[in-house]
Structure 1
Amino acid sequence: MKYCRLRLKSQWGWLLATVTAVMAQPVIAETANFGTLKLSAGFTPTQGVVEGYTGGSYSLSAISNRDRDKKACIGFADPKPDHILILDKDFDRLKVLVNSGGYDTTLLIQGPDDATIRCGDDTGKSKDASIDDRNFKSGTYKVWVGTFNSGVKQNYTLTVQQP
């Protein structure tokens, strides 16, 4: 009888320790490598500009092979998004441009839900990536700026425009 009681205490102690450990884990807030960009109706051109740098060996195709328009999602970046874009209202159209001085960049935007993906690569004759798309719903978007080659560090400016 004594053996059963000790064993029962031991099992409950293990369960209590497990529950306590799980509950003690902090909830990780959505963060980005270079911060948050919050845009409202009629935002000025300077409000839609942020800076950062590429780097990482995480394949953006691990998020999605293709976007909602069947464009390939390519490039390498950090697993954590570079920017969080918060839209206070629906936008009929937005243009998101990367300027790294013509380096071969890529772009992936996920949001406002996990299933909606937009991907961009070269812009015209420039190797810098861009996305020009319609129907951006209000909400939170994760933005990754990648490079065609893994592990390359390149400074860039990201600009969001309302055409």
Structure 2
Amino acid sequence: MFHRLFSYLAPGLALGLVGSAFASPVQAQAVIQGGGSIFEDVRLSPSFSPVIVRGISGGTTSATRLTDRSETDTGPCLGFVDSQPDHRMELTSAFAFLSLQVQSTEDTTLVVRGPGGVWCNDNYSLDFNPGMAGEWLPGLYEIWVGSHRVNRFYPYIIEISETPDAQTESSQFSLP
């Protein structure tokens, strides 16, 4: 994750360091556009308000290799991810409905591993953003957001919600 964060922030940090050589001393700060932390973990109980987590997609590990499969019930295992999950999500009890939807300006992929197996998705919504929705078992889930090309890193958000919308109602699934 550090490599993705560094490559995303490096151009701005380098410019700031060069500029500081010609100015009075200042304290350097890395600011993520849109604010907030990245690579957050969440613990969710029923009746929560929708949650948004942020990160930067991509890595060097193929999603197919990570999951040991090319396809799941929720979609193909495509793209490249980090060797470690981007987020961990703990569900304190079963959810009759839960939705994860990735939003990015670039084409991303999604891998979720948790109780009962592993699930992948590429184009969940009408555009190129991945997601999944349906019944979820209690337990710990690991979440990866990938990029279609190796070592391509794109900022994203994941919206986690208990509220179905028109898109999620038509593409629900049940986790075993």
In the superposition, the TM-score normalised over structure 2's length comes to 0.66
Count of residues paired in the alignment: 125
- Mapped contact 2:74–2:119 kept (Cα < 8 A): no
CA RMSD, Structure 1 to Structure 2 (Å):
1.7
Give the 3-state SS of the residue equivalent to 1:118 in structure 2.
strand
Picking from 92, 96, 102, the partner of 2:96 is: 92
Which structure 2 segments of 5+ residues have no match?
1-37, 165-176
Picking from 43, 47, 50, the partner of 2:48 is: 43
- Structure with higher Rg: it is 1
Instruction: Identify the residue that residue 142 of structure 1 maps to in structure 2.
Output: 142
Distance 1:70 1:83, change over 3 A: closer
Q: Return the letter of the residue paired with 2:131.
A: S
Q: Return the letter of the residue paired with 1:127.
A: F
Which structure 1 segments of 5+ residues have no match?
1-32
In the superposition, the TM-score normalised over structure 1's length comes to 0.71
Q: Return the letter of the residue paired with 1:51.
A: R
Instruction: Identify the residue that residue 131 of structure 1 maps to in structure 2.
Output: 132
Give the 3-state SS of the residue equivalent to 2:144 in structure 1.
strand
Displacement of 1:153:
0.9
Picking from 103, 107, 111, the partner of 1:108 is: 111
After superposition, what is the alpha-carbon deviation per residue over 1:27-70, rounded to whole angstroms, capped at 9, x for unaligned?
xxxxxx8131111110101xx21001013111011123145527
Q: Return the letter of the residue paired with 1:54.
A: S
- Mapped contact 2:122–2:129 kept (Cα < 8 A): yes
